[in-house]
Amino acid sequence: MKPVASNKPFKRILLTGAAGGLGRVLRERIKPWADIVRLSDIVDMGEAQEGEEIMPCDLSDKAAVHTLMQEVDVVLHFGGISTENNFEAIMQANILGTYHIYEAVHQAQVKRVIFASSNHTVGYYKTTDYIDAHMPMRADGMYGVSKCFGETLSRYYFDRFGIETVCVRIGSSFPEPVNPRMMVTYFSYDDLLELLRCALFTPRVGHTISFGVSNNPASWWDNRYASHLGYQAKDSSAAFAHKFPNSGAYPVADDITTLYQGGAFLLTGPQYK
Ligand code: NAI
Ligand code: 15L
What's the CA gap between 125 and 138, in Å, rounded? 7
User: Using one digit for the tens of pLDDT, what is the confidence trace for 71-98?
Assistant: 999 999 999 999 999 999 999 999 999 9
Backbone φ and ψ of 232, nearest 5°: -125, 115
**pLDDT value of position 184:** 96
Q: How confident is the model at residue 160 (pLDDT cuts 50, 70, 90)?
A: very high
Lowest mean pLDDT among 32-46, 200-214, 220-234, 244-258: 244-258
Lowest mean pLDDT among 4-8, 112-116, 138-142, 226-230: 4-8
User: Using one digit for the tens of pLDDT, what is the confidence trace for 12-54?
Assistant: 999 999 999 999 999 999 999 999 999 999 999 999 999 999 9
Q: Which atom of ligand 1 is nearest to the CA of 171?
A: 42
pTM of the full predicted structure? Answer: 0.97
**pLDDT value of position 156:** 98
The pLDDT of 102-114, averaged and rounded, is 97
| Test site for ligand 1: of 14, 15, 16, 22, most ligand atoms within 8 A of the Cβ | 22
- Average pLDDT score over the chain: 95
- What share of the chain in percent tops pLDDT 70? 97
| CB neighbours of residue 54 within 10 Å | 17
CA distances to 12, 39, 69, 154 from 163, in Å: 17, 22, 14, 8
**pLDDT value of position 2:** 60
Note the CATH number of domain 10-272.
3.40.50.720
Q: Is 110 helix (H, G, I), strand (E, B) or coil?
A: coil
The pLDDT of 120-125, averaged and rounded, is 98
With a cut of 60, say whether residue 3 has pLDDT above it. Answer: no
The pLDDT of 177-199, averaged and rounded, is 97
What's the CA gap between 38 and 226, in Å, rounded? 27
- Among candidates 223, 204, 203, which has minimal Cα distance to 215? 223
Distance (Å) from CA 148 to ligand 2 centroid: 14
**pLDDT value of position 185:** 98
With a cut of 60, say whether residue 241 has pLDDT above it. Answer: yes
Q: How confident is the model at residue 272 (pLDDT cuts 50, 70, 90)?
A: low
With a cut of 80, say whether residue 270 has pLDDT above it. Answer: no
Indicate if 189 belongs to the active site. Answer: no
What's the CA gap between 215 and 120, in Å, rounded? 19
**pLDDT value of position 255:** 87
Sorted by sequence, the CB contacts under 8 Å of residue 239 that are 6+ apart come out as none
Q: Quick check: CB of 81 below 6 Å from ligand 1?
A: yes
Q: Quick check: CB of 118 below 6 Å from ligand 1?
A: yes
